[in-house]
């Protein structure tokens, strides 16, 4: 077991919970839901809902752009949300994503109804509908009481920490993206960290320091979705079309950034971007998770067209926070239905609407998911225990 000393963050203006006050923080994989699941199931997400709605704070990444109910942000009148057809005209979709995820406001309302009250809006789909989509997504979050970070009406607002209180403890969220996005397009509304831009790095560290000065617990969320292939044909010192400077070892770059974020005062670093999850590292007594996979995934490709079974394996993290530090982590295995049982029953549109939704995994599937998480964590020197269908990690003084 990785016995570590957790480092507390203090601030003069924060709450002061009792020494044994435990706050439950749920962390979920990224949410990519293109239609409200309640249109299909009367009790959608029934397996995972109890964990989310009973948490003091529940976090996810909102991996879509909301289309304004009034203007629809330039979507064609006959646009079908689940298929993304007909194609959005380029002048209404200035981002460079290959698969725009434009969704109605009820998707945000659904996630809020589950109990998600803290979200990152910064990712490679934040700009799918340009500034209109960024602002519509913010409006949807605020109308449903969701505290959010990572995008804004200006670059300064996108960088600002967001604060939420639970049982006398103040939590802060700073969110940014390092993804396949054009810096010149996004940087006015989406907080990003492009490789080779020291000012991006420094601004995010400063935001974490500000958050640590005003909160007891700071989450840094990082949508990390680039790899070596993004630098194909780009030499040392050169930049690719998105504005990222060549990095020989992108995994080492992420590790350096994540550790710098924790050194600046973050209580944990949490990453999404790739479909599969990675293991957990404990750095200076604080959780460092490079990739946490997906909570739900309305995938557009064929069955088997994603990176093996791992794209549809997930985890839900149930964290116990005491005095501004994570003391215990429980991970619940999730199976996101890729759709093998649906493909013969429905036409393509209905198949796409129904696939990728999570249930708590059991039996041999749960064992496989948890064993993969354990093995990936061992690479970072973290010994995760497995018991009763859960992965467990205790963090306490003495190591």
The three-state secondary structure class of 366 is helix
d(CA 291, CA 206): 23
State the pLDDT at residue 7.
33
The pLDDT value given to residue 93: 55
Question: Tokens in use for 362?
Answer: 């059991």
pLDDT confidence tier of residue 92, bands split at 50, 70 and 90: low
Q: pLDDT tens digits for 231-259? A: 999 999 999 999 999 999 999 999 999 99
What is the percentage of the chain residues whose pLDDT exceeds 90? 80
Residues near 165 by Cβ (< 8 Å), separated by ≥ 6? 15, 171
Q: To which residue do tokens 């979050």 refer? A: 141
Whether the CB-CB separation of 306 and 299 falls below 8 Å is answered with: yes
Question: How far is the C-alpha of 388 from the C-alpha of 174, rounded, in Å?
Answer: 34
CA proximity to 268, closest of 250, 254, 289: 289
pLDDT digits (tens, 9 = 90+) for 37-89: 999 999 999 999 999 999 999 999 999 999 988 888 888 889 899 998 887 76
Question: Quick check: 17 pLDDT over 60?
Answer: no
Structure letter (DSSP) for residue 192: B
To 5 degrees, how large is the angle CA 283–CA 289–CA 290?
115
Residue showing tokens 């923080």? 25
Distance CA 99, CA 63 (A): 12
Rounded-to-integer distance, Cα 19 and Cα 107, Å: 38
* pLDDT digits 0-9 by tens, 277-336: 999 999 999 999 999 999 999 998 889 888 666 899 999 999 999 999 999 999 999 999
As a whole number of angstroms, the distance between CA 22 and CA 362 comes to 28
Distance CA 49, CA 55 (A): 10
Q: What pLDDT is attached to residue 3?
A: 32
Specify the CATH number of the domain 22-394.
3.60.21.10
Are 102 and 129 within 8 A, CB to CB? yes
Q: pTM to 2 decimals?
A: 0.93
> How far is Cα of residue 263 from the mean position of the Cα atoms in its chain?
21
Is pLDDT of 224 > 80? yes
User: Where does residue 2 rank: exposed (0-12), middle (13-18), buried (19+ CB within 10 A)?
Assistant: middle
User: How far is Cα 102 from Cα 94, in angstroms, rounded to an integer?
Assistant: 13
Q: Which of 118, 220, 215, 221 is nearest to 168 (CA)?
A: 215
pLDDT of 185 over the 50 cut: yes
Rounded Cα–Cα distance for residues 261 and 286 (Å): 11
**What CA–CA distance (Å, rounded) separates 46 from 41?**
10
Binning pLDDT at 50, 70 and 90, where does residue 166 land?
Answer: very high
pLDDT at residue 155 is higher than 50:
yes
Angle between helices 250-263 and 198-214 (to 10 degrees): 30
Alpha carbon distance 272, 257 (integer Å):
14
Domain residue ranges in the chain: 22-394
Percent of the chain with pLDDT over 70: 91
Rounded Cα gap, residues 13 and 352, in angstroms: 48
């Amino acid at each position: 077991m990785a016995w570590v000393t957790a480092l507390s963050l203090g601030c003069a203006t924060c709450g002061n919970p009792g020494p044994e006050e435990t706050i439950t923080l749920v962390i979920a994989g990224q949410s990519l839901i293109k239609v409200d699941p309640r249109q299909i199931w009367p009790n959608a997400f029934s397996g995972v809902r109890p964990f989310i709605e009973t948490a003091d704070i529940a976090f996810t990444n909102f991996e879509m752009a909301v289309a304004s109910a009034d203007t629809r942000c330039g979507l064609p009148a006959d646009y079908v949300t689940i298929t993304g057809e007909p194609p959005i005209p380029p002048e209404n979709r200035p981002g460079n994503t290959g698969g725009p995820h434009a969704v109605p406001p009820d998707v945000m309302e659904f996630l809020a109804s589950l109990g998600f009250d803290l979200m990152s809006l910064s990712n490679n789909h934040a700009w799918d509908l340009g500034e209109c989509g960024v602002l519509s997504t913010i409006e949807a979050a605020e109308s449903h009481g969701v505290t959010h970070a990572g995008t804004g009406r200006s670059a300064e607002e996108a960088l600002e920490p967001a604060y939420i209180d639970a049982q006398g403890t103040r939590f802060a969220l700073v969110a940014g993206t390092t993804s396949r996005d054009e810096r010149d397009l996004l940087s006015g509304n989406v907080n990003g960290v492009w490789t080779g831009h020291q000012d991006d790095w420094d601004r995010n560290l400063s935001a974490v320091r500000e958050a640590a000065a005003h909160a007891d617990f700071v989450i840094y969320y990082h949508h990390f979705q680039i790899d070596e292939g993004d630098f194909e044909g780009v030499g040392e010192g050169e930049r690719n079309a998105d504005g990222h400077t060549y990095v020989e070892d992108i995994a080492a770059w992420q590790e350096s950034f994540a550790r710098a974020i924790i050194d600046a005062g973050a209580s944990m670093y949490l990453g999404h971007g790739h479909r599969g999850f990675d293991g957990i590292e404990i750095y200076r007594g604080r959780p460092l998770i490079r990739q946490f996979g997906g909570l739900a995934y309305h995938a557009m490709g064929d069955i088997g067209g994603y990176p093996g079974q791992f794209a549809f394996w997930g985890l839900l993290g149930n964290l116990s926070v005491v005095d501004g530090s994570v003391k215990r982590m429980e991970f619940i295995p999730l199976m996101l239905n890729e759709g093998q049982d649906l493909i013969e029953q429905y036409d393509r549109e209905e198949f796409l609407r129904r696939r990728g939704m999570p249930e708590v995994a059991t039996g041999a599937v749960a064992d496989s998911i948890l064993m993969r998480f354990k093995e990936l964590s061992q690479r970072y020197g973290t010994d995760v225990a497995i018991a009763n269908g859960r992965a467990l990690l205790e963090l306490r003084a003495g190591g």
